[in-house]
Structure 1
Amino acid sequence: MELMFKSIKEAIRFKSFLATNGLQDSFQEKRGRFIYSFQPIDTNKDQYVSALIQYIQTVKRNEWLDQVLQKKYRFESENERHDIIEVVSEMFAGERKELTALAGVVKEESILREAVIDLLDFKGTVAFDSFLRFRLKEYFKQVTTYLGIAIDEYKMEQDYQVFVQTLRDYLHDRVTRQSIVHLILDRPETFYDEALKEMKQEEIQGLLDPRLLSNHPVYVDSAVIAPLLSMAPNKIFLYTKDEDQPLIRTLKNIFEERIAVFSTNYFYRLAQAYTKHS
């Protein structure tokens, strides 16, 4: 079985990749084409299958994604393309279940394994580009679906970072109106001052900067983020039963070193101890 490549660069890269997997085969030039010749593969076919799958996953898939991002989506920045491809890779690795759920899980390993086995069983010469283009056509359609989701996720993340930086800048310029704030984030959200006295809604509304909601009506949470930004505390003690909720990530990103997170139970123990000593 032989694989034919258009360029010597691609042939050498392929040979080097397989060599790192312990497969020492050779290639030669024939009429301007570069032919990779497989040795009899019956004894180590699984090794060839595994190496070819890895090559498609780690080299050809990312190369293809990079080209599509440049030519179709006009992403000129290499860093941007890298970040989007990283999201796609995480989706295939099962690390972005919230994203793969939007398109369904692609059974990449089984799809590639079937195609590679068919390739290795062929008795003759196959152009590698043709194999990718035709035999893996449906696979790359699924990769395209993942790419579309990854682009949307990347753009949302960029918007999120701009939003966070805008609020950091606002916080930096805001005069502190409440030095220390304790906040129970469980429903209903409850604010306490530094003496652990509950802050009434009227008091919170009196501190609220109305520009926050008018300038950022989509993003700024009026129940938590806007009051905290308006108060601009030097220290925020946050108590919650669920530290993994997205709102906490946003609060940490905005307030950074000003914020500390504890369990809700810790607040009640703290309040009890404070009452005994007051």
Structure 2
Amino acid sequence: MLEILFSSPKEARTIYAIFRSIRKEFLSELQLINDELIKISPKSWDVSLEQIVIPGFIQFILEYKEHQFMLSILKEEYYFVEEIEQQQILQIANSIIDGERTDIPRIQGLCPRDEVLKETLGMFLKPELNFSFASFQKFRLHQYIARLREYVEVAIEEYKLEQEYQSFIQSLRDYQCEQKSKLERISIVHKEGYVVYDDNKQHLSDDQLTAYVDQGFIYQHPMYIDSNLLAPLVSIAPKEIFVYTNDSIDGMIQTIQNIFQEKVRIHSLAEFT
């Protein structure tokens, strides 16, 4: 018999419901006693461990405890106390965990956290074991918590980069809004690169674009600004920008949209005449 003691009735009821939802009647008997003690009497230990106990624990930890763990890491180890910051960083961490940010080198090749938990539980759980979940959490989850810490650290780095990017965008937005427009309209044709045209659809060469750049502003700017396209656009401060592209999610195009906002019109390449 496996006995697990919980200090929180809510946690005990939650994991008991999980065990029941995945239980095979002929494999295990389950009991919840006084909303604090779960007893599992497996008819086949190996099968019950593989099909009920370990999957149930993993589901409980990932769905009900992981957010709490990461929040504790943020507050106690990295001293993020503002709720808005916490939410934004944890949102980034969750997107990393869910595989939405695969381009971050540091997280590539990391063993999935459910596999970490599976290995930990497999080494710990034994027949006729009595333990408290609080002790298990404190003494046995070091490897899993270390994995979460890696995700949190990467999320903090990404959060800071995004904050810097937003500050960068806002400074360019403010600057171009203060400038007198040197050209009413700019057209940008995006294929393999970016080709710029003036009000009359006349091609603007690199030298012509460079001539518009306010070198003083670019020099003083704390972040790198693309000197071939973005710097001339901000210095020209056009009232309208027509972008012709078949890839509207291109990074540079999105940056132009973020800076110039309602001044930007996106069209397909086929519409450029």
The interval holding the TM-score normalised by the smaller chain is 0.7 to 0.9
Aligned pair partner of 1:26 in 32, 40, 43: 32
What does residue 38 of structure 1 align with? 39
Identity of aligned residues (%): 27
The structure 2 residue matched to 1:254, chosen from 235, 256, 259, is 259
CA displacement at 1:65 relative to structure 2: 1.4
Q: How does 1:90-239 map to 2 (within 5 A)?
A: 90-99=95-104, 101-102=106-107, 104-117=109-122, 121-186=126-191, 189-216=194-221, 218-239=223-244
**Cα distance in structure 2, aligned partners of 1:102 and 1:39:** 37
Determine which of 11, 14, 17 is the counterpart of 1:13. Answer: 11
**In structure 2, the residue corresponding to 1:147 is in which secondary structure?**
helix
Q: Find the aligned partners of 1:90 and 1:25 in 2 and give their Cα distance.
A: 37
The 5-angstrom pairing of residues 49-88 of structure 1 reads 49-88=54-93
CA contact (8 A) 1:181 1:193 kept: yes
Cα pair distance change 1:15/1:119, threshold 3 Å: farther
State the shift of 1:50 in Å: 3.1
Q: TM-score, normalised by structure 1?
A: 0.80
* Deviations, residues 208-255 of structure 1 (Å, cap 9, x unaligned): 222331221533211111111112122212234544332222222112
TM-score calculated relative to the size of structure 2: 0.82
Question: Where in structure 1 do 4 or more consecutive aligned residues deviate above 6 Å?
Answer: none
Shift of 1:121: 4.2
Residue by residue over 1:6-65, the C-alpha shift from the partner in whole angstroms, topping out at 9 and shown as x without a partner, is: x4xx3323413543674584243xxxxx84213435599435433321221133222121
Corresponding letter in the other structure for 1:92: I
Is 1:41–1:48's contact at 8 Å kept on the other side of the alignment? no
Which of 247, 256, 270 pairs up with 1:266?
A: 270
Mean CA deviation greater in 172-181 or 154-163 = 172-181
Residues in 2 aligned to 1:91 and 1:215: alpha-carbon distance in whole angstroms? 34
Specify every segment of 5 or more residues in structure 2 that has no aligned partner in the other structure, as ranges: 22-29
Residue type at the aligned position of 2:85: E
State the shift of 1:107 in Å: 2.0
* Structure 1 unmatched ranges of 5 or more: 29-33, 272-278
Q: CA RMSD in A?
A: 2.8
